[in-house]
Copies of this chain bind each other. A is one copy, B any other.
Amino acid sequence: MFTTEIFTSFVWNLFKIKHMQNAVLITIGDEILSGNTVDTNSNFIATELKNIGIKVSQIITISDEIETIKSTLKSAFEMGDLVITTGGLGPTRDDKTKKALAEFFDDEIALDEATFEHLKAYMERRGRIEILERNREQAFVPTKSTVFQNHFGTAPCMMMQQNGKLSFSLPGVPYEVKPLIKDQIIPYLKEKFNLNYISTRIVSVVGIPESILADQIEEWELALPKNLALSYLPVGTRVKLRLTATGTDENVLQVQLEDEIQKLFPIIGENIIATSEDKIEKILGEILSEKKLTISTAESCTGGELALLITSNPGSSKYFIGGVVAYATQKKTDILGVSEGIIERFTVVSEEVAREMAEGCQNLFKTDISLSTTGVAGPGKGEDGKEVGLVYYTIKVKNESQTFKLYMPHLDRQDFIYFVSQKIIQDLVGILIAQ
């Protein structure tokens, strides 16, 4: 057992690794296989590794059984230079990763004093004076491992090496994984290896279906340099073109990417809404900040998703003033000033109500832009008998108001709310760019 520092100074030269190009991620946990939990750790780790030029070639989710863990470690080490496991390190009976690690590396588990001290301090800070035997067990690690201490949980991260390849075993809790990866493992890998760079740019295209887009840019795609790869990612009615460049010089890659993106403009320039940002809420944030415009929301069927989407962008407090979720019909009248006559005449899920909601929202929050939604997310029909999947939304920019209708009966409640919200922000971006 070594601390990171000692390990660095004398063990390192024993296995200087040239290659650190690709990684395999192993997610250990029955809760993911049973559909109880979505694996978000792999997504986070893959992004972080990509940013330092390490490509993830496989993500494998397995159950928490010693033999399965061992055989998966074996195939992962054959495939990747780096193996990262998450999960299976909790204090309870169903976590078997540590035993599997020790067996796989032909090692034993022993108490690591430094880890135990760290654990005690951690628990005392959290007001837990009594240290259970079960907690003490968490300070047992394979003797050949290098421990990276976990500052936000009780399970330590263990690094092992085999034939010049590395593995890291982390707990499964996302807010423990994130700092371990970001603050400890990534800096460590950057320091130890000469890494390739991977640069990515995303071009957001609207108004062309994926297949027609593919036809239009086919020549451009076929002429791309060999170190550039293209992917199509449809998100709602938007298509994201992802260009990934791999090489040794970051600046060269960036110039290459910019060059290729510029060549797209003569072909599909009118349909491109962004070439740097990936997420629609970030694209919106940039435009609103640049144009110094403020925005507010009045939601019914989207239940707060529109506000959440806009505010999920850090710095959104500069342009997002506020929102109302007017779920009950009466509140559309009370708070947003939608006239009762209009509701009676056209029903609550109607073009007219959407328009009045946006109007009332703009007045309430005194913003340049307001967005409104009224519809039926399902699974039950609307109070007014309107069909599931129907929504009217209004985008009001200063004095100009446009109302749209969407009918998506095939989407379930959650997908409907997500799709509609993405589409509204996307439409707004289109309107603002065209101005």
Instruction: List, in ascending order, chain B residues with CB within 8 A of A250's CB.
Output: none
Q: Does A403 count as interface, using CB distance less than 8 angstroms? A: no
Q: Does A58 count as interface, using CB distance less than 8 angstroms? A: yes
Question: Do A304 and B314 touch across chains, with their CB atoms under 8 A apart?
Answer: no
Q: Does A7 count as interface, using CB distance less than 8 angstroms? A: no
Question: Do A303 and B308 touch across chains, with their CB atoms under 8 A apart?
Answer: yes
Instruction: List, in ascending order, chain B residues with CB within 8 A of A314's CB.
Output: 378-380, 413
A36 to B305, alpha carbons, bound, how many Å? 21
Binds B, one of A8-16, A100-108, A228-236, A261-269: A228-236
Instruction: List, in ascending order, chain B residues with CB within 8 A of A48's CB.
Output: 35
Give the contacting residue for A50; candidates B35, B128, B200, B306; CB below 8 A. Answer: B35
Chain A, 311-330, CB within 8 A of any chain B CB: 311-312, 314-317, 320-328
A61 to B59, alpha carbons, bound, how many Å? 5
Question: Do B233 and A37 touch across chains, with their CB atoms under 8 A apart?
Answer: yes
Instruction: List, in ascending order, chain B residues with CB within 8 A of A94's CB.
Output: 230-232
Distance from A386 Cβ to chain B, minimum over Cβ atoms (Å): 13
List 10 other contacts, CB 8 Å, given A31-B233, A92-B214, A304-B307: A34-B242, A132-B212, A135-B211, A175-B411, A321-B327, A322-B324, A322-B325, A322-B328, A324-B324, A324-B325
Q: Does A412 count as interface, using CB distance less than 8 angstroms? A: yes
Dominant SS at the A interface? mixed
Q: Does A55 count as interface, using CB distance less than 8 angstroms? A: yes
Instruction: List, in ascending order, chain B residues with CB within 8 A of A401's CB.
Output: none
Q: Does A414 count as interface, using CB distance less than 8 angstroms? A: yes
Contact with B along A65-103 (1 / 0, CB 8 A): 000000000000000000000000011111000000000
Number of interface residues of A (CB under 8 A): 105
Copies of this chain, count: 2
Question: Do B43 and A59 touch across chains, with their CB atoms under 8 A apart?
Answer: no
Q: Does A192 count as interface, using CB distance less than 8 angstroms? A: no
Question: Do B312 and A413 touch across chains, with their CB atoms under 8 A apart?
Answer: yes
A312 to B42, alpha carbons, bound, how many Å? 25
Question: Do A415 and B175 touch across chains, with their CB atoms under 8 A apart?
Answer: yes
A178 to B35, alpha carbons, bound, how many Å? 14
Instruction: List, in ascending order, chain B residues with CB within 8 A of A411's CB.
Output: 175
Question: Do A93 and B59 touch across chains, with their CB atoms under 8 A apart?
Answer: no
Q: Does A173 count as interface, using CB distance less than 8 angstroms? A: yes
Instruction: List, in ascending order, chain B residues with CB within 8 A of A328's CB.
Output: 317, 320-322, 365
A154 to B214, alpha carbons, bound, how many Å? 15
A175 to B91, alpha carbons, bound, how many Å? 38
Instruction: List, in ascending order, chain B residues with CB within 8 A of A36's CB.
Output: 47, 231, 233, 242, 278
Give the contacting residue for A92; candidates B152, B210, B413; CB below 8 A. Answer: B210
Q: Does A203 count as interface, using CB distance less than 8 angstroms? A: no
Question: Do A325 and B303 touch across chains, with their CB atoms under 8 A apart?
Answer: no
A42 to B27, alpha carbons, bound, how many Å? 13
Question: Do B35 and A46 touch across chains, with their CB atoms under 8 A apart?
Answer: yes
Question: Do A60 and B58 touch across chains, with their CB atoms under 8 A apart?
Answer: yes
Q: Does A275 count as interface, using CB distance less than 8 angstroms? A: no
Q: Does A335 count as interface, using CB distance less than 8 angstroms? A: yes
Instruction: List, in ascending order, chain B residues with CB within 8 A of A226's CB.
Output: none
Give the contacting residue for A57; candidates B33, B209, B211; CB below 8 A. Answer: B33
Question: Do B154 and A34 touch across chains, with their CB atoms under 8 A apart?
Answer: no
Q: Which of A230, A323, A378 has the most CB of B within 10 A?
A: A323
